[in-house]
Amino acid sequence: MNVLSTVRMKVTLLPTKLNQDHRPILFDDTEAEAAVRIFKALSDETRVRTLSILTMNKDYCVSDIASMLKMDISRISHQLTKLEDLGFIRRRKSGKNAYYRISDDCIRSILGRAKEHVAGI
């Protein structure tokens, strides 16, 4: 096989992969409304950074997250409540403390894709 036939073979295979990755994504009204709620939730830097911490597969209490982000506990607590209400995270009580963990693999995937996109991967 010469170089030209190798190039032709790669060109022939390329559209197949592109078609799989770039298929149309059409939303009906209800789906569009739900997608907007997701994107609105992810439009806040504190929520995105909080979710990124929670992707580390460990439970974190509010004070841990606040310390990592160098923010007030009340601000983080407020954002965690919003994320929990949306079903992105779940809370586990242990004594007086509440521990949080990401509970939606779709949100984890969206965060991963966003990270790849901004990192130029």
> For residues 70 and 73, what is the distance between their CA atoms, to the nearest angstrom?
9
pLDDT score for 43: 95
CATH classification code of 30-119: 1.10.10.10
Share the mean pLDDT of the chain.
85
Q: Which helix (H) or strand (E) holds 94?
A: strand 89-94
C-alpha angle with apex 44: 67 to 31, nearest 5 degrees?
A: 130
Q: What is the pTM of this model?
A: 0.76
pLDDT exceeds cutoff 50 at 9? no
Determine contact, residues 92/60, Cβ cutoff 8 Å: no
Residue 44 reports pLDDT greater than 50: yes
Which 8-state DSSP code applies to residue 98? E
pLDDT band at 8, cuts 50/70/90?
Answer: very low
pLDDT digits (tens, 9 = 90+) for 56-111: 989 999 999 999 999 999 999 999 999 999 999 999 999 999 999 999 899 999 99
Q: What is the pLDDT of residue 32?
A: 95
**Average pLDDT of the residues in 13-18:** 42
Radius of gyration of the chain (CA): 20
pLDDT band of residue 22 (cuts 50, 70, 90) is confident
